[in-house]
Structure 1
Amino acid sequence: MARTTVSVEPEHYIPVPRHRLIDVLKSESGDRTTSTDALCRLLAALIHFEYRELIDELKQDYLRFDPARPERLNSMMGGEPSEEEYEKSERRFLENFVKTLEKANFIPLDQQAIDVADAEDYLFSLPVEVDWRRFDARLTDVLFEDGTYLDGISEPPEFAQHALLFRRGVGVDQYKGFLFFQKLDMVISKTLIWIFRKIGDLLRRKKGEEPEPDVPTENEKTDDGGGTNSIHADREIERITLKPEDVNLRSFFKRTQLQEPTFSQLVMVYRLLPDGKDSAATSIDRTIHIKTLVDIPMADLEVVFPEKRLSMKPVDLIKLITTTVTGVAIVSFKLMTALVVNPYLLFILMGSLIAYVGRTVMGYRTSRARYEHLVTDALYAKSRDNGLGVVLFLVDCMEEQEWKEALLAWTMLDRNGPCDTEKLDKYCEEWLDEKFNIKTDFEVEDGLGKLLELDLVSKNGELWTACDLDTALERLDTRWDNYFQYNSDSPSSGPESIASSDPVVPDPTAVEPTDPEPIAVEPIAVE
C-alpha cells in the first residue's frame, strides 16, 4: 500500500463540549464550585447578549437571500428593495458572515490545502469536473477588493472567485473492504499502460533511442500550512491509498484498508447564475446558498461542489475505445465473410454490431450512474444543514469559542498569577492537553481582549493580572444589571440582582386581610 504523510498544524479551534469544560473546572475549584458555576453562566450570558446586534443583522440581511424565503416577502417588507439596498444588505451580510466564521475559528481553505487534497485518490476515483461558469463571481467580489485573500496571508485557491470554503478540525476516515471494482480497474489499466509502453519502447528502438527506465515513486510528505505559535508540533496523519503496484491475484481475496485525513467541518457559500445563457449576463439571482458538511475526505473534496460532472479517466477512455474498436473489427470481418457465404446473414451481423455498440455505451452509462449514486449518498449522509440553519449554527459556534477562550485565559491567570502573553498561552495549551488530550493553538490574544473589555484583567507592562473570583462576579453582575436602566426604583434590575436581593419581611403590626364571604348563587332552572 502507498503511504504518505499529511502534516496538519494545531488550530485555534477548541472542540471540548461546553458542559464538559464546566464540569472539569468545577471539579478543580475546591470550595469555589458555586462561584465558578456562576462565573461560567454570567460570562456566557454576557457574550451572548453582546453579540445580539450581529445576530440580528445576519438574520435580517439573509432574509432576502435565503433560498427558503417566503413568497410574499417583498409585500411584508414594504416593497421590492432597490439595487442599491440589495448591494448594501449583501455586503453587510458577507462581511458579518466572514467575521462570524473567523471568530468561530473556521479557516479559509487555501491553495496549499487544495493541492494536498488533490495529491491522492480515495473512494471516488473518477475525475470530477466542476462547471465554474455556472457560479456567479459577483458575490465574492466585495471580499477581494483589497487584492488579498480572506486571511490576508495565503494564496487564494482557484475557486475563490466562485465560492467560499471554510474548514475547522481535521479527522481521519478509514475504510476496509475488498474493493473489487477498484482493483479490477487498476489491473486493466496497468495492463494497457504496459502494452502501450512496450509499443513506445519498440518504436524508440527503431529510431535508435534508448527506452526510458521505470522510476519508482517515493512517498512524499505534504504539508498543510506554515508555522504557528503553539507549543505542540504538527500532527502527522498517515494517508494509505491503493496503487496499481499493490494489486495482484491474491489481493482480490483479501480485504484492503484505506486511510485518509478528513475535513471535520466544512462551510460553503456560493451563488449560481440564472438559468439560460442569454439572461445570465444581464440578470442576477440574489439567492445565496450556504451549506455545512462534516467528515469530508481530503481526496474527495471536489464532490462537495454543486454543478459537477463525472468524467472518464484517460485510461477508461482508452479501454472503451479499445474494446469498441476490437468488437467492431471482429464484427466487420464477419460481415465481409457473410457477404461471401450468405448475403442474408449481413442483416443479422449488422444487428449484432449495433447491439454490441449499445451494450458498450450502456456499460459506461451504468458505471457512471453507479458513481453518481455513491456521490449522492455520501453527500446526503455528510450534509448537516443549509441556509439560515447554518447561520444560526455558526453564531452559536462563535459565542462558544469566544466563551472558552475568555474563561480559560482568566482561569489560568487566576491559578498561576501574573504572567506575560506567551506564558499564559503555554499554560492554556498544556492544560487542554493534560485534561482532554487536545493539542490546540490557543488564541490567547482573543481571550485577553475579551477579558480586558469586561474589566476582568489588567496589564502592567508585559504582565497580565486577573482580578479575584468575587470581584469578577461582582463586575460581571454589575455589567449585566446596567445593560438597561429604566427601573428608577432600584439601582440594579438584572436577573442576578433580583435573585440575590434581601427577602421582604412582613410587618407584624399589619392587619391581615380577611377573606370575603362567598356569594350564594341560585341555580337557574332549565326548561
Structure 2
Amino acid sequence: MVQKAQQPIVVTRERVLAPPDRFIAVGEDQLIDYFKGVFGSELAPAVPILHQLIESCTNADFAALRRRLLDNYDYFGKAAEGRTGVELKPNEELDKQELAFLADFVQLMEAAQFRQLHAAEWDAAQAEDFLFTLPCHVKWSAMDTKMLRRYWAAYPEERADAPEETAERIMVFQRGAEVATMQGSYFLLKVNLIISMWILQPLHRLFCWVMLQLKMQHYIPAPKGGSQDDSAAQAALERAAKQELHPATIEIERRTHARVFPDGLAVLKQFFKTVKLREACFRDVIVLYRLAVPDTPAPANEIEIIKEADPKLMQRNIVLKQFRGIPLADLEMVMPEKRVFVPPKVFVEMAITLVGGVAALATALWSGAKEGRGLAAAWTGLSLLAARAMQVYTSALAQKNLIENTMGKLLYERTVGSGVGVLTNLVDGMSRQRVREILICYCILLDSQKPLSASELDAACERFLATQFGCKIDFCCEEALPAILKWGLASEDKAGALTAVSLPKALQRLDDVFDNIYSFSGSAKAILAKAATGANSSTAAAAVTEAGGGSSAAGGGSSTAGAATGAGSAGGHALGKVLSQKRQPVTVAPVAGGASPAATPTKKKKGFFAKIGRAFS
C-alpha cells in the first residue's frame, strides 16, 4: 500500500486548518469487549488471547527500537544532567553517535505523527497574544548551534520550512490541535490598547515617516511576527479549501486580542463587556536543543546548584522536553530561556503622563498664583504627577510578575516529561497505538466476510471508530499492514485485495511468531564457543537466529531484518513503513569554522533611533 500523505497544517492569523487526529483514543479493553460481541460466544474467549499475542509480538519490535534510542542518547542525557564520573569519548565518535541519534529521533517523530514547526506557524505565533500580553524575549544565545548545523548539513532537505530563528538552535515538534478558551473583562488591557491605538500608533507612523524622509529606513523596526503580509498563508488556505479534505479535518477560528479588538472603536464598544477569547493549541509539543556551555562556566550564584561535571562533557548535552496543551500564540513559553519585560510603550505612557502633568501643573501654578496659593498648588500638582507615573509603572510591573508566575505554573502543569522519559513515553505510546491498529485492521477485515483493498479497509476502520466510539480520526491502515501480512494474519492477491485468515489460524500463526522471537533451538555449544572466542554480541545474535531457523512460520519473514531485529524481535514488521526505512545522510564537505551553509539572520540595528522605533511600535 502506498504511504498515505498526511494533510498539511495551514495557519493564518484568523484561523487554523489542522489535519485530523491519528491517535486512537479508545482503550484495548473497549475494543476487546466490542469484538467479543461481534464474533459470538464461541470465538469470544479467543479475542483477549489474540490481543495478548499481538501485543507481545509488537512490544518485542519496539523494545529493540527503544534500546537503540536509549543507548545512543545515554551519553548526551548524562551530559544534560551534569553527571560526574562519566568517561569522556573522542569527538569523532560522539559526532557519529550524535548524528545517528538525531536521525533516529526525527524518524521517530515522523512515525509518531509529529511535525516540525514551520516558519508560517512561528510567524503566526509571534504576531498574536493570548495568555501573555507583555513582550517575551527569547535568549537565543543560550542555545548551542553546532549540533543542528551538523545535522542540517547531513539532511538539508528537512530544513526548508524551519523558522530562521529556531533552525540552528532548537527543534520544535508539534502534534494534534485543540481549542483553548478564556474570558474576562481585561480592563487594564483595554486601557492600554486605547492608549496604544490612539496615541502610540500615530506617533509610530510619524516616526516611520520621519525616518523615510531622512533615508534612515533601516531604523524602522520590523513588525512583530515578521512581515504583516499574510498572502502566502491565505493562498495555502485557499488551496486547502479547493482540495478534498478529510471529513475529520479540524478548523479553529482564532479569537485573540488582535482579532477581538481590531481598533480603538471596537475596544470602546466592548469596554464594559466580558470578552471571550479562543486560540488553537498544539496538543503535544516536543523540543530538542543543546544548551551553550562555555569552556569556563560562570560561577554559580547563591541560589544555583553547583555542577561539578566536566565542562567538556556538559558541552555535549542534548535536552529533550515534552509539553501538552501549548497555545499557538504563546509558543515562546517552551523555549529554554526567556524573559518577560516591561515594554517600552510603558515608558512612553509615563512620558505622556509627565507632559500632561507638567501642563496641568503649570495651569495650577498660574491659577494658584492669582489666589496666593502658588506653593500649595505646586506641591499638590507634583504629588499627583509622581503618583500617576508610579501607578503606570507599578501596574506594568505587577502584570509582568503575574505573567511570569502564570508561565511558570503552566509549564509545571503541562510538562509531560524530559530526557529519557520523553523517549520511553514516545516508544511505548507508539507500541500501544500499533497494537490497536493491528487489532482493529484484522478484526474489521475478518468481520467483512469479503476481500477488501487497503483503501477500503482504511475507510472501514474509520467508520467503525466513528460509529461505535465517536472517535473521528484519519486511520493509518498502511502502518499496520506490514505486520498483518508478514505474520500471516491476512493474504494479499495480485489485485491488492486483502483476505483475513480465520481467528483460530491467526492465533496459531501469532503463537509461531512469538515462539520464534526467543528461539534457542540448535547447538548451544557452538553459540557459546563463538562467544568465548571474542565474537561480538551481534555475531552471537546472528548465530542464535541461524540455530533457530531464523524465519517466521507465519509469513516467512526473516527475523534479521533491519536494526531492530535479532533475538527479542518479531522481525521489525510492527514498526510500520516509516520506521523501517533507513535514512541516509548527505555527504558534504565540512564547513570551515563550523559555519552553517544556510544564511544567518541579520541582527537588529542598535542605537538611539532603533530604540525609539521599538518603543513606539
Alignment TM-score > 0.5, same fold: yes
Query: Are 2:336 and 1:321 aligned?
Result: no
The one-letter amino acid paired with 2:104 is N
Query: Are 2:172 and 1:157 aligned?
Result: no
Match of 2:249 among 202, 213, 234: 234
**2:177 and 2:250 in contact (8 A); partners too:** no
User: 1:346, CA displacement in angstroms?
Assistant: 11
Q: CA-to-partner distance for each residue in 1:16-49, whole Å, 9 max, x for gaps?
A: 3333333333333323222111111111111111
The one-letter amino acid paired with 2:254 is R
User: 1:155, CA displacement in angstroms?
Assistant: 1.9
The one-letter amino acid paired with 2:83 is E
Name 1:303's counterpart in structure 2.
333
TM-score, normalised via structure 2 length = 0.65
Name 1:263's counterpart in structure 2.
282
Counterpart CA distance in 2 for 1:410 and 1:84 is 47
User: 1:392, CA displacement in angstroms?
Assistant: 1.2
Query: Are 2:439 and 1:407 aligned?
Result: yes
Q: CA-to-partner distance for each residue in 1:254-308, whole Å, 9 max, x for gaps?
A: 43221112111111111111158999xx967222111111111112112221222
Q: How does 1:201-216 map to 2 (within 5 A)?
A: none
Name 1:391's counterpart in structure 2.
423
Percent of pairs with identical residues: 29
Counterpart CA distance in 2 for 1:27 and 1:157 is 51
Q: CA-to-partner distance for each residue in 1:32-77, whole Å, 9 max, x for gaps?
A: 2221111111111111112222211222222222267573442xxx
TM-score, normalised via structure 1 length = 0.75
| Gap change, CA 1:275 and 1:352, over 3 Å in 2 | farther
Aligned length: 465
Counterpart CA distance in 2 for 1:252 and 1:195 is 22
| Gap change, CA 1:230 and 1:19, over 3 Å in 2 | farther
Name 1:60's counterpart in structure 2.
71
The one-letter amino acid paired with 1:46 is C
User: 1:169, CA displacement in angstroms?
Assistant: 1.6
| Gap change, CA 1:453 and 1:261, over 3 Å in 2 | same
Q: How does 1:330-369 map to 2 (within 5 A)?
A: 362-369=394-401
**1:13 and 1:168 in contact (8 A); partners too:** no
| Gap change, CA 1:251 and 1:445, over 3 Å in 2 | same
Name 1:190's counterpart in structure 2.
197
| Gap change, CA 1:387 and 1:318, over 3 Å in 2 | same
Name 2:47's counterpart in structure 1.
36
Counterpart CA distance in 2 for 1:485 and 1:224 is 56
Query: Are 2:24 and 1:14 aligned?
Result: yes
**1:58 and 1:93 in contact (8 A); partners too:** yes
Name 1:519's counterpart in structure 2.
none
In the alignment, structure 2 segments of 5+ residues that lack a partner are 1-12, 211-229, 299-310, 524-546, 549-617
Partner of 1:51, secondary structure, is helix
Match of 1:425 among 458, 475, 487: 458
Partner of 2:482, secondary structure, is helix
**1:239 and 1:260 in contact (8 A); partners too:** yes
Q: CA-to-partner distance for each residue in 1:463-501, whole Å, 9 max, x for gaps?
A: 222222111111111111122233679x99xxxxxxxxx
User: 1:10, CA displacement in angstroms?
Assistant: 1.5
The one-letter amino acid paired with 2:261 is K
Name 1:106's counterpart in structure 2.
114
Partner of 2:44, secondary structure, is helix
Name 1:132's counterpart in structure 2.
140
Structure number with bigger Rg: 1
**1:190 and 1:244 in contact (8 A); partners too:** no
Counterpart CA distance in 2 for 1:348 and 1:271 is 56
Name 1:47's counterpart in structure 2.
58
Between 241-250 and 446-455, the greater mean CA deviation after superposition: 241-250
**1:66 and 1:289 in contact (8 A); partners too:** yes
Query: Are 2:409 and 1:377 aligned?
Result: yes
Match of 1:463 among 497, 503, 506: 497
| Gap change, CA 1:426 and 1:476, over 3 Å in 2 | same
Partner of 1:452, secondary structure, is helix
Between 355-364 and 131-140, the greater mean CA deviation after superposition: 355-364
In the alignment, structure 1 segments of 5+ residues that lack a partner are 204-216, 493-527
**1:10 and 1:441 in contact (8 A); partners too:** yes
Across the aligned residues of Structure 1 and Structure 2, the Cα RMSD in angstroms comes to: 4.2
| Gap change, CA 1:138 and 1:464, over 3 Å in 2 | farther
User: 1:221, CA displacement in angstroms?
Assistant: 10
Query: Are 2:508 and 1:479 aligned?
Result: no
User: 1:106, CA displacement in angstroms?
Assistant: 2.1
The one-letter amino acid paired with 2:187 is F
Counterpart CA distance in 2 for 1:62 and 1:224 is 42
Q: CA-to-partner distance for each residue in 1:414-446, whole Å, 9 max, x for gaps?
A: 222312222122111221221222332222221
**1:116 and 1:223 in contact (8 A); partners too:** no
**1:187 and 1:247 in contact (8 A); partners too:** no
Name 1:96's counterpart in structure 2.
104
| Gap change, CA 1:230 and 1:48, over 3 Å in 2 | farther
User: 1:101, CA displacement in angstroms?
Assistant: 2.3
**2:462 and 2:472 in contact (8 A); partners too:** yes
